[in-house]
Chain A
Amino acid sequence: DAKTTQPTSMDCAEGRAANLPCNHSTISGNEYVYWYRQIHSQGPQYIIHGLKNNETNEMASLIITEDRKSSTLILPHATLRDTAVYYCIVRGSYIPTFGRGTSLIVHP
């Protein structure tokens, strides 16, 4: 699987958009980009995934650059409950492996 690079931590004001970047410069053509988040002491929660096109669901939007070497997860209106570690995963095989992720802190 392609390796990913994410900032260690970020913070965001409540009600504002949170934009979490992820670099995956070695991604290959059949590898999907997945985003999960993990709230303290819980299992990871699936957020969204995509291959080439931008995706949106009730939780977030995923923007993938045209060369697919990076992506951005957007939480349009962050709330305090969005404070979590966010993992960007690139899957080439069916086994997901996790990096360190980005610790997002949403403050009042």
Chain B
Amino acid sequence: GAVVSQHPSWVICKSGTSVKIECRSLDFQATTMFWYRQFPKQSLMLMATSNEGSKATYEQGVEKDKFLINHASLTLSTLTVTSAHPEDSSFYICSASLGHLTGNTIYFGEGSWLTVV
């Protein structure tokens, strides 16, 4: 299947700093990418939908000024957690779709562990 890669796999940052997570589709062009957050023993929670060349659409309750999403090309989307706090520590996962049809498979990255100390 298609490959979606995230970087870094894990990161530790100090409270108040910002951290960027990259999501790349390695062998296909993704017009749409999705960002999820997952807390321990919970399911994936959709944070935002990222469309290439346009502003991201955020889910209710997700602060767009805190979680900055950029989708500048068809193969790269970035999530920047600004002014991170310990409660932002979580597993962040991106996914990418080959297209907008419901029959288009969505592939997920390996995930990025963020720990804010």
- Chain A residues engaging chain B, CB cutoff 8 angstroms: 30-32, 34, 36, 41-46, 49, 51, 87, 91-101
Judge whether A101 and B43 touch: CB under 8 Å: yes
Judge whether A91 and B108 touch: CB under 8 Å: no
Judge whether A43 and B102 touch: CB under 8 Å: no
Q: Which residues of A contact B58 (CB under 8 A)?
A: none
Q: Which residue of A lies closest to B104 (CB)?
A: A94
Judge whether A43 and B111 touch: CB under 8 Å: yes
Majority secondary structure, A binding face? loop
Judge whether B93 and A43 touch: CB under 8 Å: yes
Bound complex: CA A36 to CA B34 (Å): 16
Give min CB distance, A96 to chain B, whole Å: 5
Q: Which residues of B contact A96 (CB under 8 A)?
A: 34, 95, 106
Judge whether A49 and B108 touch: CB under 8 Å: no
Bound complex: CA A42 to CA B109 (Å): 8
Is B25 part of the contact surface with A, judged by Cβ < 8 Å? no
Cβ-defined partner of A95 (8 Å) among B4, B45, B46, B93: B46
Is B32 part of the contact surface with A, judged by Cβ < 8 Å? yes
Judge whether A93 and B46 touch: CB under 8 Å: no
- Given the known inter-chain contacts A32-B102, A32-B103, A95-B49, please indicate yes or no for A43 contacting B43, CB distance below 8 A: no
- Given the known inter-chain contacts A95-B34, A96-B95, please indicate yes or no for A41 contacting B111, CB distance below 8 A: yes
- Given the known inter-chain contacts A46-B1, A96-B34, A97-B46, please indicate yes or no for A36 contacting B102, CB distance below 8 A: no
